[in-house]
Amino acid sequence: MTLNGERLVPNKTTDSFYLEHIHLYQFTEQFVSGKTVLDIGCGTGYGSAKLLDLDAKRVEAIDRDKEAVAYAERRYKRNKLTFRVADALAIPFKKEMFDVVISFEVIEHIKDPHIFIQEAMRVLKKGGVFICSTPNQLQYRGGTSPYHTIEFTPPEFSSLFGHAGYSFQLFGQQITNQPVIRAQKEYFTRYQALTFKNTAVKKLLHRIPSSWKTKIYLSLWKDLPPLTEKDFLITNSHIQNAVTLIGVCKKQKS
């Protein structure tokens, strides 16, 4: 499985981002238990498998990356879990098929987020819930990924869902470990300086194997403090401090 800086692979990706994503999937437990779920942008499949562990009735998982889907099928193929290659802007399912639709860290890669949301809501049953996450553009990671087409502030993200027939709640995932926050802010400040905020340079840097980047980092700066899932908090207050924005959008029954 090739890593490009955006693809998370368990046992190969050792930074905090894997824990953040697992924590996001854990947040969905209150919504997915006993439900049929669509996971859009499933990547390597670890989160889709986690949904079954959270008692989802059935999970369909899609991603446009053939390599990621092939990896997911090899690593996580289970009963009641199906992976397929598909585009998030043309979801290959009939309308109102799913109780819950989930998409984590996908919308920032899409040129037209409105079409993406329309597609997600199309396949969602009446009364169903769409859970969507994206990085908070206001925080220190904002503008650091060369693979993001667009990033959102909390008000901008909320405004995407201002459609009659939906009810919307905004949550934020925060890191509560202050030493980690300080270390990450220092890292991303130096990363921006090192790459001159240039997208091409960032893409080139992202192609360096993770093990090499770790050695380079440790030779220049101190190691990041260790993180656990307990160092993350999802709340609907102090959203401006969140590293990740989470929208919970419910489709009205009539």
Residues 102-120: what's their mean pLDDT? 96
Distance CA 230, CA 10 (A): 19
Within 13 Å of residue 6, how many CA atoms lie on the same side as its CB? 20
Give the residues across from 84 on adjacent strands.
62
d(Cα 113, Cα 150) in Å, to the nearest integer? Answer: 9
The per-residue pLDDT for 208 is 78
Asked if residues 99 and 105 have their Cβ atoms less than 8 Å apart, the reply is no
Taking only Cα atoms into account, the Rg of the chain, rounded to an integer number of angstroms, comes to 18
Given its phi and psi angles, is residue 250 left (phi above 0), alpha (psi -120 to 50 degrees) or beta?
beta
pTM for this predicted structure? 0.89
Q: Which runs of consecutive H residues, i.e. helices, occur in the chain? A: 16-27, 29-32, 46-53, 66-76, 113-122, 154-159, 178-195, 199-206, 210-220
User: 186-227 pLDDT, tens per residue?
Assistant: 888 888 888 878 888 888 877 777 667 667 666 666 666 778
b/e map 5-28, b = 16+ CB within 10 Å: bebbbeeebeebbbbbbbbbbbbb
CATH number corresponding to 16-175+232-251: 3.40.50.150
The torsion angles phi and psi of 169, rounded to 5 degrees, stand at: -130, 140
- Read off the pLDDT of residues 42-87 as tens digits, 9 standing for 90 and up: 999 999 999 999 999 999 999 999 999 999 999 998 999 999 999 9
